[in-house]
């Protein structure tokens, strides 16, 4: 124990040096016209690439170069995702696999093409021989995203041709990962339950005839059962998270790492690491933690005044985590509306009725209605605020009895489709390693010989 204490003390002293030497004066960013976070002052992202895969529409630019807010749209390969959702519902089909096909190949599949593709994906869901025992059960992780990333990297060792950079081989690797991500996440969760929480271990085989949503519910539940409505709303969540343009952090990561001409597993594992970040994939968990706090302190969920008063406390840094953030409100691109939030909210109404959660859904709806006004009154309207998809996705997962440990992994299970499309796009169209510039603002110093240092 004394050795551990000494090590911590030593590291503590060293960390103080980094805290002193690493900060940079914010004024220098303005002096050198640096776009911090690759964003302009008005929140727009710096244009660093071109893509044909997806688009996120939240504003137009007028003739004077000003942003003009418009209703949000999410576009996959030129098609509005709302149309994809409506068509899937009309035909009583699960739509995620159709989105995967569209994102990878750029075209909407015919029914025959979709059937062949979903059959192919289904045939690949099982992990390679002894993978579960050797790579998951013998090395469980307290964090499922960490386990997924390690599973992706471990897949390299099970690939007979891992370094082949041909488009055909990369496509094979991506489709295998898309097929297996739900299995990796579910088995990683089961291993955590057993080894970190002392609970029973359930390892069910994925069924090739089931959709991604159905298989995930089957693999994470001890009794392997789920309702059609449960699978449908999870499928909707997967559709809505499958792609979000090339500028989001994890998709950009895929482009950057792929541009270095590395293997597929390294590129996708890096994207998982990005999505694991609390500023990226973990937002819906923060929403749920905030909602736990609101439900604890707002005694009457039907009272507009009580809800409003407590939201003011949160926004004024007097309640919850004291950051002043109302989680689930606002987005980097969407202004008037986030179409993903609207679609998920509407579908959640049916599930809330089935699960007896209508009072809770009313609370969510009231916060969605009230929060923008609270934020506007306190901070002014520098930009329009709308409720984003993270506000409702956590609520949906909670009604599905999905543990919070699996919220961000579900995001990864969906987004692997977009990552794969961006990986292939970079290989086909990129051809040049990403190499942005950083301005060194430290200046040169005269070297001090060892004998003269104090």
Q: DSSP readout, 189-256? A: HHHHHHHHH-PPP--PPP-TTS-HHHHHHHHHSTT----HHHHHHHHHHHHHHS---TTSHHHHHHHH
Closest to 307 (Cα-Cα) out of 316, 299, 315: 299
- Output the CA–CA distances (angstroms, integers) from residue 315 to 142, 311, 333, 373, in the order listed: 32, 6, 21, 11
In angstroms, how far is CA 20 from the centroid of its own chain? 33
Task: For residue 269, give the 3-state DSSP assignment.
Answer: helix
Active site residue: 331, 338, 405, 422, which one?
331
- Pick from 250, 224, 265: nearest CA to 411: 250
Of 374, 383, 391, 376, nearest in space to 313 by CA:
374
Query: Is residue 335 within 8 Å of 214, Cβ to Cβ?
Result: no
Task: Please name the helix (run of DSSP H) or strand (run of DSSP E) that holds residue 452, with its range, or none.
Answer: none
79-80, strands of its sheet edge to edge: 54-61, 67-76, 79-80
Tell me whether residue 390 is one of the annotated catalytic residues: yes
Among 55, 235, 263, 390, which one carries the catalytic annotation? 390
Region class of 287: left (phi > 0), else alpha (psi between -120 and 50), else beta: alpha
Question: Looking at 134, 280, 297, 309, which residue is catalytic?
Answer: 280
Instruction: Print burial letters for 212-245: b (CB count within 10 Å at least 16), e (below 16).
Output: bbbbbbbbbbeeeebeeebbbbbbbbbbbbbbbb
Measured between alpha carbons, how far is 450 from 22 in angstroms, rounded to an integer? 23
Name every residue whose Cβ is closer than 8 Å to that of residue 217 and which is 6 or more positions away in sequence: 226, 230, 231, 234, 400
362 catalytic? Reply is no
**Residues 306, 310, 313, 318: is their CA dihedral positive or negative?**
positive
- CA torsion, points 128, 133, 136, 138, in degrees to nearest 10? -150
Measuring CA to CA, which residue among 277, 267, 212 is closest to residue 239? 212
Is 280 one of the annotated active-site residues of the chain?
A: yes
Q: In sequence order, what are the residues at sequence separation of 6 or more whose Cβ sits closer than 8 angstroms to the Cβ of residue 123?
A: 208
CA pair distance 236, 215, nearest whole angstrom = 14
Write out the catalytic residue numbers.
280, 331, 390
């Amino acid at each position: 124990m004394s050795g551990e204490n000494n090590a911590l003390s030593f590291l503590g002293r060293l960390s103080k040096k980094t805290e002193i030497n690493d900060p940079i004066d914010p004024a220098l960013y303005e002096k050198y016209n640096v776009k911090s976070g690759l964003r302009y002052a008005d929140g727009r992202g710096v244009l660093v690439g071109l893509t044909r895969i997806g688009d996120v529409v939240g504003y137009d630019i007028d003739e004077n170069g000003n942003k003009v807010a418009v209703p949000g749209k999410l576009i996959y390969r030129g098609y509005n995702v709302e149309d994809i959702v409506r068509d899937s519902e009309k035909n009583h089909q699960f739509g995620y696999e159709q989105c995967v096909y569209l994102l990878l190949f750029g075209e909407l599949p015919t029914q025959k093409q979709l059937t062949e593709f979903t059959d192919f994906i289904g045939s690949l869901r099982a992990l390679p021989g002894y993978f579960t025992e050797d790579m998951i059960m013998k090395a469980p992780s307290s964090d499922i995203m960490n386990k997924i990333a390690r599973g992706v990297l471990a897949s390299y060792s099970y690939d007979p041709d891992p370094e082949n950079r041909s488009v055909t081989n990369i496509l094979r690797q991506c489709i295998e990962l898309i097929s297996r991500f739900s299995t990796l996440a579910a088995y990683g969760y089961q291993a955590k339950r057993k080894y970190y929480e002392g609970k029973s271990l359930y390892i069910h085989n994925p069924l090739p005839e089931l959709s991604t949503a159905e298989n995930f519910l089957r693999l994470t539940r001890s009794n392997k059962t789920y309702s059609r409505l449960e699978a449908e709303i999870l499928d909707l969540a997967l559709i809505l998270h499958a792609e979000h343009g090339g500028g989001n952090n994890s998709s950009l990561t895929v482009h950057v790492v792929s541009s270095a001409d590395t293997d597929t597993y390294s590129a996708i594992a890096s994207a998982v690491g990005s999505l694991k970040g609390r500023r990226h994939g973990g937002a819906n968990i923060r929403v749920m933690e905030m909602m736990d706090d609101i439900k604890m302190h707002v005694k009457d969920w039907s009272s507009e005044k009580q809800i409003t008063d407590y939201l003011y406390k949160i926004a004024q840094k007097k309640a919850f985590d004291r950051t002043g953030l109302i989680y689930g409100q606002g987005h980097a691109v969407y202004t008037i509306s986030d179409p993903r939030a609207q679609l998920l909210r509407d579908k959640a109404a049916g599930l809330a009725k089935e699960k007896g959660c209508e009072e809770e859904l009313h609370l969510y709806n009231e916060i969605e209605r009230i929060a923008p006004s609270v934020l506007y009154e306190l901070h002014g309207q520098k930009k329009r605020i709308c409720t984003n998809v993270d506000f409702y996705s956590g609520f949906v997962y909670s009604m599905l009895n999905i543990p919070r440990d699996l919220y961000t992994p579900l995001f990864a299970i969906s987004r692997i489709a977009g990552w794969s499309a961006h990986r292939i796009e970079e290989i086909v169209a990129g051809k040049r390693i990403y190499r942005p510039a950083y301005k060194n603002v430290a200046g040169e110093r005269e070297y001090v010989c060892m004998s003269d240092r104090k």
